[in-house]
Amino acid sequence: MQFVQLSFTLLFGLMAPGLFSAQPMSAPIVNPPRQQMQTVIPNLLVGPYLLNVTGKTFAGDVFLDVAVTVNGQPVPDGTSITLAADPTTTGDSIPAGGSPVDMTAATAAGHARFIPDIPSDGDWMITLSVAGAGGDDITPAQKVGIDPHRPADTLVYALSMIAIPIVTVTLLVVFFSLRHIELERWPADPKGRPRQSGHSSSTVG
């Protein structure tokens, strides 16, 4: 009976990723979920504006979300934000073949979003300018490191993140189940016959 249970457990562990992949996949998320984002430039004061930049800074997958407030309130929709990114030319993290980026976005609900074409890892100098009701201001250059080590967002990677814990738990269950079976076996007597549990009754003739 225990062998049958172990067989079903192993079978389920192997089939789970396949069953998951057979389910209909939802449409790709345009704005990345928060767990894939990081704080890039916090509390950047630019004249009357306060900028908080979060995003993903992985080479070839850069996404910046700039939250802009003035006097504690989100700026009006349509406030112009300009992003300029230049690869550093000194230091140990000079991007190989990096090209300058210059782009403009308008705010919506107090946020401006940028997807700059930064395929090269290394250090970049980022400047943000704001043109809105509170006036025009520009930030000092901020050094931002672009990380090359993030794994690709592929179906295989997503499935592996689900399959690894399932297979790990399955192997642990099998291991401890086999240990339990081994401990329950009675040692053989010197003649090679398995001993019976309990005490044998002797008869007096």
Q: Tell me: the pLDDT tens digits for 96-149?
A: 888 999 999 999 999 999 999 998 899 999 999 999 998 999 999 999 999 886
pLDDT recorded at residue 195: 58
Q: Does the reported pTM lie above 0.75?
A: no
Q: What is the mean pLDDT of residues 82-90?
A: 94
Q: Tell me: the pLDDT tens digits for 169-181?
A: 888 888 777 665 5
Report how far Cα 158 is from the mean position of its chain's Cα atoms.
10
CA distance 32 to 121: 20
Q: Name the pLDDT band for 156 (thresholds 50, 70, 90).
A: low
Cα separation values, 95 from 58, 89, 91, 154, 170, Å? 13, 8, 10, 25, 44
Please indicate whether residue 189 or residue 101 has the higher confidence score (pLDDT): 101
- Cβ pair 195, 186 in contact under 8 A: yes
pLDDT recorded at residue 169: 85
Amino acid at 153: D
Locate all alpha helices (DSSP H) within 79-154, ordered by sequence: none
For 162, residues 6+ apart whose C-beta sits below 8 A from its C-beta are 16, 17, 20
- Cβ pair 66, 90 in contact under 8 A: no
Task: Tell me the fold of 34-146.
Answer: Immunoglobulin-like (2.60.40)
